[in-house]
Chain A
Amino acid sequence: MNDFQKKAEIIRVETLTPEVFRFTVHSPAIAAAARPGQFVMVRVEQGNDPLLPRPFSVHNTESATTFQLLFKIVGRGTSILADLEVGDRIRVFGPLGRGFTVSDDGPVCFVAGGMGGAPLFFLAKYLRLNGRRPDRDIVLLGARDQSEVKPIADDFIRLGYRVETATDDGSMGHHGLVTDLFDGIGPGIVRVYSCGPYPMMGVVAEKCRQKNITCEVSVETIMACGVGACLGCTILKSDGSYAQVCKDGPVFTTDKLAWTV
């Protein structure tokens, strides 16, 4: 059930780093309907600049009344959003898109880079709430430094998952890429969920192809309408046709996409 809300109130703001924020937003309609991997469109400004809403994956939902966004300041839209405070209202609609496939066929591995942990956390929590025991699952998180990766790592650990981290500067965990960690995961993993920078997902997709493991990624692209009407958010599929990230995705199995890395 999609809901266009003109006034969804921000009820909590957490500043995880000077550039990374977590907002808790009051929206029973979105909280009740959202599934892991889906996203919402957020209008950050009342005026015309910036004009278009921004897509954000649903990071978490709580008690069927609130949902959370996790984002980093990367441009004008996120910069304006970051200045909002508790009590401010944002225009938001959703949930939108096709989410992750929830399956119980064996141990899974989550691979997240940068802000990619946002949708994967919702998935991990959803699995736990539906009775999954995470003892054979593994979460691999990569980010620039400890300040960026630790808050998300702690979130997954609190859910009961095993977590390994990688940082560009070596301040926490492996000094290097999160995809280096992927080479070390045990056999028996039957499914991989990944989200993060496009080149990172491309590497994960290739490694999964070689190991014959089913892999789903959540891709990001500029969007205008978010509902499948404008055809602005297309991505090339492996069969040469275009898929719409907002409607056919944002989650895709990696063999369906034409990777350009």
Chain B
Amino acid sequence: MNLQVKIGELRFANPVLTASGTFGYATEFAQYVDLKRLGGVIVKGISLEPRAGNPPPRIAETPSGMLNSIGLQNVGVERFLKGKLPFLRELDTRVIVNILGDSVEEYAELAERLSGHRGIDALEVNISCPNVKNGGVAFGIIPESAAAVTAAVTNSTDLPVIVKLTPNVTDVTEIARAVEEAGADAVSLINTLLGMGIDIATRKPRLANVVGGLSGPAIKPVALRMVWQVAAAISIPVIGIGGISTAEDAIEFLLAGARAIQVGTANFTNPAASEDIIDGIIDYLEEEKEDSVENIIGGLQM
């Protein structure tokens, strides 16, 4: 049975990847997951300089989900290359580095610095960050900004470039088409939905940052809808993210047109979630008498 999927020039052993920000740098989960079984690992987003992140409280539980405002805390590109990459390059799975920045220039420089290192197979571009040169409006909500970041990154690296889309827009297909035109090799979606919670005992926001990103099973219907819409709107591959906890969830996204999926919040409820999902996809293909996972990608029947 074939579980391999191709996304541009990238080959993955199977469609199951772990999402940036939920799996650290993979070492943290090494005791719970057989890392070499994963299709790929997408590490925590890296910026040029280290970032401390937001004050606590950074997380809050919500019905079937959670809010986070971690604040993009990361060790910066230098310490990533020296301190984290050595372990990652020994993993027998694809390693994708998520990158983030304040300006188009920062994204370009990051892309250049991360190129040419053994062990990094692709870049995933987080465009949900605020553009400080544009009043702090997120790059990913304006098609021209999203395209500018995409072009800057693709011009600065030979690595495959996956652009991670934010759902906090009116029409995500518009953004998807803009980044496709700007040269992206693939898109991944969705990032978190903007939300908030209030503690009625203290009458204060539950997050120190007031608003944060909602993730988990609660967002799956929105994510699935967006993946389905984007897969129909563009030709480049789509990677599906959003509330995937089980193999059944993953298969819904593959049927909707995703060539691969990412598991995020589910890693917190079940550290072995990613492996369980791989096993479940194998079971499904056997039951359905499909000899390749490629047979179900885009298999939604209308």
Chain A residues near B (Cβ < 8 Å): 1-4, 43, 48-53, 91, 93, 221-236, 241-242
Sample of 8 further A-B pairs with CB below 8 A, known A222-B57, A227-B24, A228-B24? A4-B272, A48-B64, A52-B268, A91-B270, A225-B22, A225-B268, A227-B32, A230-B268
CB of B240 within 8 Å of the partner chain: no
Q: Given A51-B217, A225-B28 in contact, is the A230-B57 Cβ separation under 8 Å?
A: no
Cα–Cα, bound, A96→B253 (Å): 34
**Which residue of chain A lies nearest to B18 when distances are taken between CB atoms in the complex?**
A229
CB of B130 within 8 Å of the partner chain: no
What are 24 A-B contacts defined by CB distance under 8 Å? A1-B31, A4-B272, A48-B217, A51-B65, A51-B66, A51-B265, A51-B268, A53-B268, A221-B57, A222-B60, A224-B268, A226-B268, A227-B29, A227-B32, A228-B24, A229-B22, A229-B28, A229-B29, A230-B68, A231-B21, A232-B59, A233-B58, A234-B73, A242-B73
Task: State how many angstroms separate the Cβ of A32 from the closest Cβ of chain B.
Answer: 15
Task: State how many angstroms separate the Cβ of A109 from the closest Cβ of chain B.
Answer: 29
Complex interface: chain B residues within 8 A of A224 (CB): 59, 66, 68, 265, 268
Cα–Cα, bound, A224→B267 (Å): 9
CB of B198 within 8 Å of the partner chain: no
Q: Given A221-B56, A222-B57 in contact, is the A229-B267 Cβ separation under 8 Å?
A: yes
Within 8 A of A (CB), among B55-109: 55-66, 68, 70, 73
Task: State how many angstroms separate the Cβ of B76 from the closest Cβ of chain A.
Answer: 13
Query: Which 4 residue pairs spanning A and B have beta carbons closest together?
Result: A229-B24, A232-B59, A229-B28, A48-B64
CB of B298 within 8 Å of the partner chain: no
Cα–Cα, bound, A52→B217 (Å): 12
Complex interface: chain B residues within 8 A of A53 (CB): 268-269
CB of B23 within 8 Å of the partner chain: yes
How many cross-chain pairs have Cβ atoms below 8 Å apart between A and B? 103
CB of B8 within 8 Å of the partner chain: no
Task: Flag if B53 contacts A234 (CB, 8 Å).
Answer: yes
Complex interface: chain B residues within 8 A of A48 (CB): 63-64, 216-217, 245, 269
Cα–Cα, bound, A119→B21 (Å): 30
Q: Given A2-B32, A225-B22, A232-B70 in contact, is the A49-B57 Cβ separation under 8 Å?
A: no
Complex interface: chain A residues within 8 A of B300 (CB): none
Task: Flag if B70 contacts A230 (CB, 8 Å).
Answer: yes
Complex interface: chain B residues within 8 A of A242 (CB): 52-53, 56, 73
Task: State how many angstroms separate the Cβ of A42 from the closest Cβ of chain B.
Answer: 12
Chain B residues near A (Cβ < 8 Å): 21-24, 28-29, 31-32, 44, 52-53, 55-66, 68, 70, 73, 216-217, 245, 265, 267-272
Task: Flag if B53 contacts A49 (CB, 8 Å).
Answer: no
Complex interface: chain A residues within 8 A of B64 (CB): 48-49, 51
**Which residue of chain B lies nearest to A47 when distances are taken between CB atoms in the complex?**
B64
Task: Flag if B28 contacts A235 (CB, 8 Å).
Answer: no
Complex interface: chain B residues within 8 A of A4 (CB): 31-32, 271-272
Task: State how many angstroms separate the Cβ of B125 from the closest Cβ of chain A.
Answer: 20
Complex interface: chain A residues within 8 A of B217 (CB): 48, 51
Task: State how many angstroms separate the Cβ of A142 from the closest Cβ of chain B.
Answer: 23
Complex interface: chain A residues within 8 A of B28 (CB): 225, 227-229
**Which residue of chain A lies nearest to B73 when distances are taken between CB atoms in the complex?**
A231
Task: Flag if A236 contacts B65 (CB, 8 Å).
Answer: no
Task: Flag if B63 contacts A49 (CB, 8 Å).
Answer: yes
Task: State how many angstroms separate the Cβ of A198 from the closest Cβ of chain B.
Answer: 12
Task: Flag if A43 contacts B267 (CB, 8 Å).
Answer: no
Most buried by B among A43, A224, A234: A224
Task: State how many angstroms separate the Cβ of A252 from the closest Cβ of chain B.
Answer: 14
Cα–Cα, bound, A83→B294 (Å): 45
Query: Contact partner of A229 among B23, B52, B63, CB < 8 A?
Result: B23
Task: Flag if B52 contacts A52 (CB, 8 Å).
Answer: no
Task: State how many angstroms separate the Cβ of A177 from the closest Cβ of chain B.
Answer: 22
Task: Flag if B70 contacts A231 (CB, 8 Å).
Answer: yes
Task: State how many angstroms separate the Cβ of B249 from the closest Cβ of chain A.
Answer: 11
Complex interface: chain A residues within 8 A of B44 (CB): 229, 231
Task: State how many angstroms separate the Cβ of B128 from the closest Cβ of chain A.
Answer: 16
Most buried by B among A91, A93, A221, A234: A234
Task: State how many angstroms separate the Cβ of A31 from the closest Cβ of chain B.
Answer: 17
Task: Flag if A230 contacts B29 (CB, 8 Å).
Answer: no
**Which residue of chain A lies nearest to B59 when distances are taken between CB atoms in the complex?**
A232
Task: Flag if A241 contacts B52 (CB, 8 Å).
Answer: yes
